[in-house]
């Protein structure tokens, strides 16, 4: 049951259950107590209907009444601002810059390509092994941030695609991913944010799930 304020509107999320950017938005919504209606899109080409919202076919897309944003950074920061609880964007300038840097690295990964996935996870392993990662916490830039949502999307999509060994074989990444899976909602809602992400069944069926936290 939700506590505190409720959002009056449900935001539309256009993306794919097999897209790590989309999954980053799903877990971020769970963290921030934001309701989403999922719209699975398959045609991002020039003739696709989504081009009316994202002229270059950049996804995912969030539509909140008349407000439309697209791309992983815009969508994650919009969810963070729209939702409840402490911001998932660090206040410290250097830490905030590192968060956006990590989102960028995660965004460039192609989880379906073994070489791309291995390279990205090697970088994450190095980050999590560095002194910077553990200054104030056990997450990518210390405390839990949107960078963790971005990397969780990579690891979940890889796992759903049968590439979970790439995650589990890296000690720091595996430990971090286990922590993400049990991280309580920043909004204090009684929901496990990780459970909001697409499952293998979702990916196989092409279903992009809805998130309903504020029902009632």
Is there a single domain that holds both residue 142 and residue 170?
A: yes
Quote the percentage of the chain above a pLDDT of 90: 88
The tokens for 94 are 């250097």
180 and 148 in contact (C-beta within 8 Å)?
A: yes
Could you tell me if 32 and 61 lie in one domain? yes
For every residue of 26-71, DSSP letters joined together read HHHHHHHT--EEEEE----STT-GGGGT-TT--S-EEEETTEEEES
Domain residues for the domain of 42 are: 11-86+187-205
Q: What is the pLDDT of residues 17-68, one digit of tens each?
A: 999 999 999 999 999 999 999 999 999 999 999 999 999 999 999 999 999 9
Report the C-alpha gap between 125 and 174 in whole angstroms: 9
Round to whole Å and give the CA distance between 1 and 147: 27
Q: Please indicate, yes or no, if residue 4 is contained in any of the structural domains.
A: no
Residue 202 pLDDT > 90 = yes
CATH code (residue 127) = 1.20.1050.10
Q: What is the dihedral of CA 65, 71, 76, 78, to 10 degrees?
A: -30
The two structure tokens encoding residue 96 = 């905030």
């Amino acid at each position: 049951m939700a506590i505190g304020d409720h959002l009056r509107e449900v935001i539309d999320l256009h993306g794919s259950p097999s897209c790590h950017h989309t999954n980053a938005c799903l877990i971020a919504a769970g963290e921030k107590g934001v309701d989403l209606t999922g719209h699975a899109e398959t045609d991002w080409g020039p003739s696709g209907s989504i081009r009316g919202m994202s002229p270059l076919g950049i996804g995912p897309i969030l539509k909140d009444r008349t407000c439309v944003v697209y791309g992983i950074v815009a969508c994650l920061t919009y969810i963070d601002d729209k939702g409840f609880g402490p911001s998932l964007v660090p206040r410290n300038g250097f830490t905030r810059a590192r968060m956006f840097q990590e989102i960028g690295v995660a965004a460039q990964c192609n989880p379906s390509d073994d070489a791309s996935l291995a390279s990205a996870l090697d970088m994450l392993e190095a980050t999590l092994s560095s002194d910077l990662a553990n200054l104030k916490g056990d997450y990518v830039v210390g405390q839990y941030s949107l960078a963790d949502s971005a990397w969780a999307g990579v690891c979940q999509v890889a796992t759903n695609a049968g590439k979970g060994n790439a995650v589990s074989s890296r000690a720091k990444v595996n430990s971090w991913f286990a922590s993400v899976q049990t991280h309580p909602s920043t909004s204090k809602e009684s929901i496990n944010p990780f459970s909001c992400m697409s499952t293998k069944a979702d990916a196989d069926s092409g279903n992009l799930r809805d998130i309903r936290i504020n029902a009632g």
